[in-house]
Structure 1
């Protein structure tokens, strides 16, 4: 274990190396007495207040860096020292609260303090935990053990699929990690449980499936869902971005859609082909909502059109096709019509350090050409579908 003193600034803390295996390195702030940063062998960095409490030296957890900023860590350390000076023992009080906390209370805190603040996909946390873990809500978190999580992981894997089981395991691990970050003196019951090996998905619409798909899509009675699926195919955009599409982000002059923030945390400009622009123009003329795909739920926009998707698959006789596979379909037909990996990545908003420099030199023209060619290839099967329908 090695102790060092330095002025805590973001660049300095971000550049600190991992500690040797099996050890922790402690760095002490030169500006706020007692504020320290522990660095583990895996590179995890955590702020603590090192202070004598009731005659004993204590390291009181403040939060992980960079989840908590240096400025907020200093404020927290100062506040904690004030409480100690007033005769309180924050460590003892915190442990007592956490030991008695129910999983339901912890999950509520997790959603409000972390998921809704830091994750664009917070609604999935809310939905999946309520669906699969509500039987834990009244239990103290200290009673939930690793063997129980292992059994649940196996059960979900068998009944709902390996992917679902792995995502749930990740959520359990994340929730308990936050409990530890916030002062719980327990062990994460999801640590050490191996995820199922997942196969990379390669499903996309095949040429012989397109005619049936387009006929079924045309017969779908829910116009909003029908247009949503068609535009998903034409743009290759992620479902979450499609659902939240607003008119103010669409430029009808340049035929582009600017997504303010994607899954990778960056903005993306999506080229809109002529068929996509025609669809959007028709919707705009009839729209009275800020959302391109309005819905009746609390968000104001379309939620998750699973029922409509199920009807289309049933009528088309298609199996194992997900909404996300429409995104993969556009990329596949871009490749089939001659686009390289950089162009496909640019149009789909993939983030790659290797290609960053090349992307910076690209304008939208080659991307536009690629999307247009892929669109023409895919829509070429629509005519065959209409012939079969007649």
Structure 2
């Protein structure tokens, strides 16, 4: 059936005992396919050479779902795809999703808040799954497959978070003309991320430390450093030797989270005696303190977490809960909340912060010595530096 489609006509199409197609008479090759359950899918048919017998060969490309993709948007997407098919290279030199991500990172990475989270999701989950997919073949089913894979390997919450940070890339690609339309436009992320308040108990904290002590380099020492510093997982995992200046670890501004990257500041972490000794005892295999290859930092993943969970008898926890527990332990030991926030590297949004440029190095060091005392015999007072 062929008709001049509009929003009303498309909405009024009813399912039948068998799926059927309605061809748009405005854009040649544009089809709205109606399934037996009422789902309406936009597709475009384009020529793709000839068969061995000389008959025309055609290719169908899925554009998205109606009404997520309007009639006007579907026509524009169909025209773009047809133009790409007729003029090779219209995709501007990008062939795979990996190449698309590289272009995306170069374009927005420097000005997007927490782009390191996007890079982490891409490297750990998305690149192995869809990195080699041609962008002309990318469709909603790749998104569904990725979501289901992450749900099975980790959790539904992590799968939802992964889709939420990746979909803006495809929207950007569509707006820049790399894709005719966001192929994941109608894809549901699923379970929303919930705010967590999990804090490890004293027994769980000690058991986690014991597991960290018994685990070989680099993951055991990394976990110890995570517990002793209270810093973010990625910052500890990506710790570099050139960031250690005597008894202070300086995390560069580009690694710090900030609403506006241009306002991010480097973060000083005074090393407690225990953390200083731990770092000094690690082998120097390359620029990173914790590494398996020498030239790249470690990536603590779900397999390590499962092993640690089993050995420490921990349930319903995440790596970030270690940071929350560290903050709680310092606060419950009498450390002022303001100092705890400085240890964590949280920004101070008060007016006073504009004028107060003190590093609070001495206060932070004492707080971190107190944190170390939760797993190690408290150090004598003479080890504390008066700064």
- TM-score range normalised by the length of the shorter chain: 0.5 to 0.7
Task: Find out whether 1:335 has 2:334 as its counterpart.
Answer: no
Change beyond 3 A, Cα 1:229–1:157:
closer
Task: Tell me the alpha carbon deviations over residues 198-247 of structure 1, each in whole angstroms, 9 at most, x when there is no partner.
Answer: 21122232112233223333322x13221111111111122222222222
* 2:321 counterpart (325, 332, 336): 325
Instruction: Pick from 148, 166, 179 the counterpart of residue 173 of structure 2.
Output: 179
In the other structure, the counterpart of 1:234 is 228
Deviation at 1:151, TM superposition (A): 5.5
Query: C-alpha separation between the residues in 1 aligned to 2:331 and 2:224?
Result: 20
Counting only pairs closer than 5 Å after superposition, residues 24-63 of structure 1 correspond to structure 2 as none
* 1:257 equivalent in structure 2: 249
- The corresponding residue for 2:307 is 311
Residue 135 of structure 2 corresponds to residue 124 of structure 1:
no
Shift of 1:364: 1.9
- Aligned mates of 1:354, 1:152 — CA distance in 2: 45
SS at match of 1:303: coil
1:108 aligns with 2:98: yes
Provide the residue aligned with 1:346 in structure 2: 342
Residue in structure 1 matched with residue 133 of structure 2 by the alignment: 137
The alpha-carbon distance between structure 1 residues 183 and 365, as it changes in their structure 2 partners (threshold 3 A), is same
Cα deviation, residue 300, structure 1: 3.4
Question: What is the rounded CA distance, in whole Å, between the counterparts of 2:209 and 2:298 in structure 1?
Answer: 21
**In 1, are the aligned partners of 2:104 and 2:169 still within 8 Å (CA)?**
no
Partner residue of 1:386?
none
Decide whether the 8 Å contact of 1:156 with 1:164 is kept in 2.
no
Cα displacement (A) at 1:257: 0.4
Deviations, residues 59-113 of structure 1 (Å, cap 9, x unaligned): xxxxxxxxxxxxxxxxxxxxxxxxxxxxxxx9x97796699869x9352332221
User: What residue is the counterpart of 2:373 in the other structure?
Assistant: 376
Shift of 1:273: 0.8
1:287 aligned to which of 269, 278, 284: 284
CA RMSD in angstroms, aligned pairs only:
3.8
Q: Provide the C-alpha distance between the structure 2 equivalents of 1:378 and 1:324, rounded to a whole number of angstroms.
A: 18
Alignment of structure 1 residues 202-281 onto 2, 5 Å:
202-220=197-215, 222-252=216-246, 255-260=247-252, 261-264=254-257, 265=261, 266=264, 267-281=266-280
| Alpha-carbon distance between aligned partners in 2 of 1:101 and 1:362, rounded to the nearest angstrom | 49
Residues 243-252 or 356-365, more deviating: 356-365
C-alpha distance 247-307 of structure 1, shift in aligned 2 (>3 A):
same
Mind listing any 5+ residue stretches in structure 1 that lack a counterpart?
Answer: 1-89, 382-390
Does residue 367 of structure 1 match 2:364?
A: yes
Q: Is the partner of 1:202 in helix, strand or coil?
A: coil
CA distance in 2, matches of 1:170, 1:96: 34
Change in 2 beyond 3 A, CA 1:306/1:196: closer
User: Which residue number in structure 2 is paired with residue 388 of structure 1?
Assistant: none
Aligned equivalent of 2:37: none
User: Take 1:95 and 1:289, find their aligned partners in 2: how far apart are those partners?
Assistant: 47
Report deviation, 1:152.
Answer: 5.5
Does the 8 Å contact 2:121/2:162 carry over to 1? no
| 1:154 Cα deviation after fit | 7.2
On the 8 A contact 1:169/1:190 being kept in 2, the answer is: no
Deviations 1:333-383 (A, max 9, x none): 1221233443222111223434744763452222222222232234369xx
Contact map agreement 1:162 1:198 (CA 8 A) in 2: no
Q: How many residues align?
A: 281
Cα pair distance change 1:332/1:106, threshold 3 Å: same
Shift of the 363–369 alpha-carbon distance from structure 1 to 2, 3 Å rule, reads same
Calculate the TM-score normalised by the size of structure 1. Answer: 0.60
